Amino acid sequence: MAQQPVSLALSGYAADASGLIPNWLKLDSAEVHAPVLHLFPTRPSRILDIGAGIGSDAAWLASRGHSIIALEPTDALREAGLEHHSGPRIEWLNDRLPDLLSLMARRETFDLVKLTAVWAHLDPDQRRVAMPNIASQVGKSGRLIMSIREGWSPANRPVFEAAVDETIRMAEANGLALIFRTESGSIQPANIAHGVKWHWLAFERPA
Ligand SMILES: C[S@@+](CC[C@H](N)C(=O)[O-])C[C@H]1O[C@@H](n2cnc3c(N)ncnc32)[C@H](O)[C@@H]1O
């Protein structure tokens, strides 16, 4: 099966990587995920981080005893991740939404699948392809936690309408039950200045 073409946002991340990396190295994953921290697994678990960036969250989760696949399509970000955030509990994978071709071929499922600040970069057609693929990675009693950006974004890394209710319907149509939703402000200065808002959704696959 042919992979869908690289999106404008992914070209933007490739172009902007050297400027983004130093800022992302300063981010505190626990602070970023504060609205949903109570939903993360407490016993050692298998986690898939889609759009893992430089792997700050993967390293944070590994330090809590989890093993992680850090899936990241942007070479410069994945390479920075390998440099700054590698370790025996983190496996880096070069793959991308919506098709997740390499990941799907592995036929694994996970206790937690997370997409932090990724979903808004997919247009409606990509989301329709992506959601069944993402949901298929969530094992029984496993969870999907995602944040969806709403508002301003740099022109070369566009975001699409958050469409939160539509996203919930898509996840539910793929066997996931909504267990939590909330909203938060941003913690990064440029996003705060532009009033960017985040929607947080958590789903669970019934046992
Ligand atoms: C705002 S960054 C968030 C990075 C990381 N999740 C974090 O919170 O630090 C968005 C990430 O999504 C990735 N991304 C964008 N489009 C993607 C796609 N189609 N498939 C997978 N990852 C994608 C980018 O390469 C980038 O690493």
Q: How many Cα neighbours within 13 Å face the side chain of 125?
A: 3
Helical H runs in 97-195? 101-106, 124-135, 164-173, 189-193
Give the separation between CA 68 and CA 90, rounded to whole angstroms.
5
Q: Whose CA is nearest to atom 4 of ligand 1?
A: 53
CB 31 within 8 A of CB 185: no
pLDDT at 6: 84
Q: What residues flank ligand 1, with Cβ below 6 Å?
A: 7, 9-10, 13, 24, 50-53, 56-57, 72-74, 77, 96-97, 116-118, 121
Tens-of-pLDDT digits for all 207 residues of the chain? 678 888 899 999 999 999 999 999 999 999 999 999 999 999 999 999 999 999 999 999 999 999 999 999 999 999 999 999 999 999 999 999 999 999 999 999 999 999 999 999 999 999 999 999 999 999 999 999 999 999 999 999 999 999 999 999 999 999 999 999 999 999 999 899 999 999 999 999 999
pLDDT at 58: 98
- Amino acid letter at 75? D
- Amino acid letter at 119? W
Q: Which of 68, 95, 118 to mutate to test the pocket of ligand 1 (most atoms within 8 A of CB)?
A: 118
User: Looking at residue 99, what DSSP letter applies?
Assistant: T
Q: Which of 121, 128, 148 to mutate to test the pocket of ligand 1 (most atoms within 8 A of CB)?
A: 121
pLDDT at 141: 98
> What domains can be seen in the chain, in order of their start residue?
24-35+43-204 (3.40.50.150)
